[in-house]
Structure 1
């Protein structure tokens, strides 16, 4: 089985889908690994490092020749794919809802496209979950971005010239990214509060030493929600949440928003009117900017000044830490493929539960129910 590792061509993408560590592991399974020239350069991995791990390093055309599995971070342009084996697998973050036309092209090429972001939230798939691994580091980095843009200190400081108050930091959305953001803000010495629509997160917020801010008058989501993710809330809940946020956000210095709903635009959490109540110099990092934004006026990839508030429309935060995020992403891919590796066939064979969840295309057709509904 030949595994091809592609160099990322998307603007701003610095990660790579395999590292020398995972190359060695794939070779240990009996696979042949070919890495496109320069694939790891922006993640501080030289071609020589891949060669030392046992991979061949060559042009894209040569790497793809006869490949049965293609690994990437983002879905590659179908026009640049040729020469792979019939029915080859493409495993990457494929953005199926946002790039549906590209998925159709993969089907026409005869690829079996596997969307790693569709990995089910089940115990045995935790080590394969790219969303969690990347969100963890993104939540950490989002707080550092806010700290860098904030014109004041994060921790309380007592000096001979007077006391500097701790930054008040509010985390909206307590998934993997939100929990890491809470932990990071706490480590930096901020006074941290957080909110979520899922009632189960209240205990998690408290366990990290932050203050939970929850709507009590209207029921939210009991437990963890569908698949561990939040879902669309009632209009009554949204109104109560907006009122709660309005009273709380005016007192905050830093806000990190992380709320996403799979397959839907990001929910609007902060309005222009609420922004106007924050004091000048406050900072918001909108981690959902690429999906439409949690903050009114935020633009993906831009930092804007709105009512004196710095609003950072975060874009591909994971790519800002390519060495570590590549290491985690590549392990997710290895854990996924190795879990199903059939030694007799010399290739992975997916089971029904995970296979049906992540498989987008097969036999020249789009087969995933989430795209056909």
Structure 2
């Protein structure tokens, strides 16, 4: 097959879906790899590195005119028009956007949305959400440190002692746990909260204090177990108690990092306007759910309704960072990890002779398939 790796065209997207390392391995699987000129520029990968790995350097039209196209972000309308019907599309395709899903289906593209990867041991090496969230959690802390007008660690100097920054992290999934670890390395005092009691041990093992909101009913306890490795919406009774605790701890914090996302649903509001108003002047909020919160007056915030996507704004004396693509700010490593995730997935749909071989009885393939099922070749 001919596998195309085009340059990403969406604003501020610096990642690329293949690296010289993964190109070599695709060629070893008897594939011809077509890389668009400049595709790796944002990740500091020169064209020569791809050529030396065995790829053919082509223009955008040829990269899209392939049997399989590997992408980071879901295609634009122009990119969809460049692909022929039947082209296999692999990438982060935003499968919960029903309009975008309809456009992909209308284009006749058998497609695999890697965000739908099951949270199973077998699928770990293909879990793009985890690999990219890990980077987002790391970068969120560095961004907060750059915005915070004081030091992060305790410093004892001849001029006096500077107290460590107090950091509150809401949500202890992959991004939240990495944020805890990074903030700890920088010397902060950290508190963290999550709806799932099972993460308490992980939070504490990284050096943070767990903010516990006890369950009072069976419904609360069941919801707190999560589903498929993700948090579930919690009952209103528990959310009210959590909101009161978060309000009190945010009021004392210097930096708040929110990471709460629920697949297919608007991000929950964790820092409402009254909590933001109670925070210290000069404090910082980094909202990893920016652009995914409930729609208010035609605009989507994040875990805070005052977050503005892809902007840093000051509200009630608090700096709010709403960057929607933190992994792209660490594009070299983000691309390396993402490309390995993609490679391991592509291996599932390539047969021993290098042919396309899609087995829809495979749980990983079935979970991620969003394109035209009738165009799939089901194998035993």
In structure 2, C-alpha distance between the alignment counterparts of 1:130 and 1:307, rounded to whole Å: 36
Cα gap change, 1:296/1:79 in structure 2, threshold over 3 Å: closer, same or farther?
A: closer
In structure 1, C-alpha distance between the alignment counterparts of 2:278 and 2:92, rounded to whole Å: 38
Q: In structure 1, what is the equivalent of residue 253 of structure 2?
A: 252
- 8 Å CA contact 2:312, 2:321 repeated in 1: yes
Q: How many equivalent residue pairs? A: 364
- Deviation, 1:85, is 6.0
- 8 Å CA contact 1:172, 1:194 repeated in 2: yes
The range that moved more, 289-298 or 7-16, is 289-298
- Deviation, 1:108, is 2.2
The range that moved more, 140-149 or 268-277, is 268-277
SS of the aligned residue for 1:34 comes to strand
- Deviation, 1:197, is 0.3
Match of 1:210 among 208, 211, 226: 208
- 8 Å CA contact 1:5, 1:17 repeated in 2: yes
Cα gap change, 1:263/1:217 in structure 2, threshold over 3 Å: closer, same or farther?
A: closer
In structure 2, C-alpha distance between the alignment counterparts of 1:95 and 1:80, rounded to whole Å: 15
In structure 2, C-alpha distance between the alignment counterparts of 1:214 and 1:144, rounded to whole Å: 26
- 8 Å CA contact 1:280, 1:307 repeated in 2: yes
SS of the aligned residue for 1:240 comes to helix
Q: In structure 2, what is the equivalent of residue 94 of structure 1?
A: 93
SS of the aligned residue for 2:228 comes to helix
Q: In structure 2, what is the equivalent of residue 342 of structure 1?
A: 351
RMSD: 1.8
- Mind listing any 5+ residue stretches in structure 2 that lack a counterpart? 294-301
Q: In structure 2, what is the equivalent of residue 61 of structure 1?
A: 61
Q: How does 1:243-322 map to 2 (within 5 A)?
A: 243-292=244-293, 293-322=302-331
- Deviation, 1:341, is 2.8
SS of the aligned residue for 1:341 comes to coil
* 1:203-229: CA deviation from partner (whole Å, max 9, x where unpaired): 110111110001125345577511110
- 8 Å CA contact 2:94, 2:100 repeated in 1: no
The range that moved more, 182-191 or 338-347, is 338-347
Q: TM-score, normalised by structure 2?
A: 0.92
Q: In structure 2, what is the equivalent of residue 360 of structure 1?
A: 370
- 8 Å CA contact 1:78, 1:106 repeated in 2: no
Q: In structure 1, what is the equivalent of residue 78 of structure 2?
A: 79
Q: In structure 1, what is the equivalent of residue 18 of structure 2?
A: 18
Q: How does 1:31-46 map to 2 (within 5 A)?
A: 31-46=31-46
- Mind listing any 5+ residue stretches in structure 1 that lack a counterpart? 367-373
- Deviation, 1:348, is 4.1
- Deviation, 1:179, is 0.2
* 1:36-94: CA deviation from partner (whole Å, max 9, x where unpaired): 111111110111111111010111212233x2211010011243345756522100111
- 8 Å CA contact 2:224, 2:234 repeated in 1: no
Q: In structure 2, what is the equivalent of residue 232 of structure 1?
A: 233
Q: In structure 2, what is the equivalent of residue 369 of structure 1?
A: none
In structure 1, C-alpha distance between the alignment counterparts of 2:135 and 2:353, rounded to whole Å: 37
Give yes or no for the alignment of 1:148 onto 2:149: no
Cα gap change, 1:85/1:342 in structure 2, threshold over 3 Å: closer, same or farther?
A: farther
SS of the aligned residue for 1:145 comes to helix
